[in-house]
Amino acid sequence: MNGGDEVIAAPAGPPNPLDWKFSQVFGERTAGEEVQEVDIISAIEFYKSGDYLATGDRGGRVVLFERTDTKDHGGSRRDSERMDYSISRHPEFRYKTEFQSHEPEFDYLKSLEIEEKINKIRWCQTANGALFLLSTNDKTIKFWKVQEKKVKKISEMNVDPLKGTGNGSIASSSSSAIHLANGGSQEGYLSNDFSFPPGGIPSLRLPTVVSSHETSLMARCRRVYAHAHDYHINSISNNSDGETFISADDLRINLWNLEISNQSFNIVDVKPANMEDLTEVITSAEFHPTHCNTLAYSSSKGSIRLVDLRQSALCDSHAKLFEEQEAPGSRSFFTEIIASISDIKFGKGGRYILSRDYMTLKLWDINMDSGPVATFQVHEYLRPKLCDLYENDSIFDKFECCLSGDGLRVATGSYSNLFRVFGCAPGSAEATTLEASKNPMRRQVPTPSRPSRSLGNSITRVVRRGAETPGVDANGNSFDFTTKLLHLAWHPTENAIACAAANSLYMYYA
């Protein structure tokens, strides 16, 4: 059950705070342009080498981006993996392709509309130069293959003009090409008014198909995994064995084989015999990055369960339980709502788990279930406004979280299109707030943090932004709860973050 040691376990000392800079933006709207609902980004995922980035949106589309700076400088994927993580580089990406992954559906048996919105994207292992990925909406998971294919053209479609006689006319080889429906083209075609001369044509040649130097990207759906979830799918996660993956909804987690789409195995089922006895639901699930028998899932009660697939076929009994005890007298109407975990992520080596609830980020050591090893206050300034947040449903917003590849920092999003980066090495007080805005000259917002307090095994760091009053900017304006940065991802090998603000994808590096 022990994971590999990560850098965070025994660093030489707290690293210096990073100086974040704006890198790129994709899909930024012009002033006054309204954001279309279907264009809002709903999922972000880096490929494990960092060479590719995928986003999904509420319109059911998947957009792929490709890293270009390593290619421009003669680097390769293997070179980028060997590079020292501390070397500051400027990752640059470009648009590669996009495809329609999901369409809106209607479940006639349940009279239920199924949105096309992409909930999660997960990259799979590449093969023969092709990219593979899983994408899911509320009910259906799809397995996609994206590959460059050479465009094929039809050539030698004409007869030899020297042999043709009679009253017909033959199209010359200089005729304009016909572009075929399959992407090919027909060079030198026969004209419609051609008629065969007396005695026939002895030199008629059959058409041949040749590959041209042109290539085009083709996305093909290889498999569809459907009809296995009664509730909305909130997570999918690939196993390190490269053959299986899990999908999770509110009450069940299913195990799939990538090659088999018509059956899955239910490995976790928290549905009670009587639904009135239901006290918690599954909110997120993820496989351990290196141990193919271990996975973790979080609940709406703020707990994380670690399960071992070797123990039994149905993993309702957990191997370890991680939860933080409530402080006496601190319970309120909102306690359970804000305790619900919206996202969990394993660290690269698998020893640490990062969780995000509404108010905080928590870092857990899987070898220590007495409590989190670090707690980072994200929304403490919103505590007096919980009633308002409940009224406008903002309290149910599901913010994601991510860890840096070296395990020294964590990040998550907030309101007003802000995202926050915390240092999690022992002794680090790093706490930076940045805003995903359209000003390319923007600088990071200074965020003084209070001194760290030691609470047993827990370290609490508080972030504040701007003016004296938390939740109010330097101009005295309240935070905008209608703009929120829910989705972000950290580059696997470098200090670079991709984050989504509405329909725009922002890239930062340090």
Domains and CATH numbers, the chain: 7-140+226-509 (2.130.10.10), 146-222 (no CATH)
- Torsion from C-alpha of 249, 250, 253, 257, nearest 10 degrees: -10
Q: Please tell me the predicted confidence (pLDDT) of residue 438.
A: 57
Which helix (DSSP H) or strand (DSSP E) does residue 338 occupy? Answer: helix 335-339
Q: Please tell me the predicted confidence (pLDDT) of residue 169.
A: 44
The answer to whether residues 266 and 273 touch, using CB atoms and an 8 Å cutoff, is: no
Q: Please tell me the predicted confidence (pLDDT) of residue 156.
A: 64
Max CA pair span of the chain: 104
Bridge partners of residue 411, in order along the sequence: 402, 421
Dihedral sign (CA 233, 245, 401, 219): negative
Query: Could you read off the pLDDT of 244-300 as tens digits, one per residue?
Result: 999 999 999 999 999 999 999 999 999 999 999 999 999 999 999 999 999 999 999
- What DSSP designation does 110 have? T
| Dist CA 40 CA 48 (whole Å) | 24
Bridge partners of residue 407, in order along the sequence: none
Q: Please tell me the predicted confidence (pLDDT) of residue 191.
A: 52
Q: Please tell me the predicted confidence (pLDDT) of residue 457.
A: 32
| Dist CA 255 CA 276 (whole Å) | 27
Q: Please tell me the predicted confidence (pLDDT) of residue 269.
A: 94
Distances (CA, A) of 378 to 218, 336, 375, 414: 42, 17, 9, 8
* Antiparallel, parallel or unpaired: β 120-123 and 131-136: antiparallel
| Dist CA 287 CA 344 (whole Å) | 10
- What DSSP designation does 236 have? E
Low-confidence ranges of the chain (pLDDT < 50): 3, 5-11, 72-88, 163-182, 185-190, 442-471, 473-478
| Dist CA 224 CA 145 (whole Å) | 12
Q: Please tell me the predicted confidence (pLDDT) of residue 312.
A: 84
- pTM greater than 0.85 (yes/no): no
Q: Which two tokens stand for residue 210?
A: 């040749």
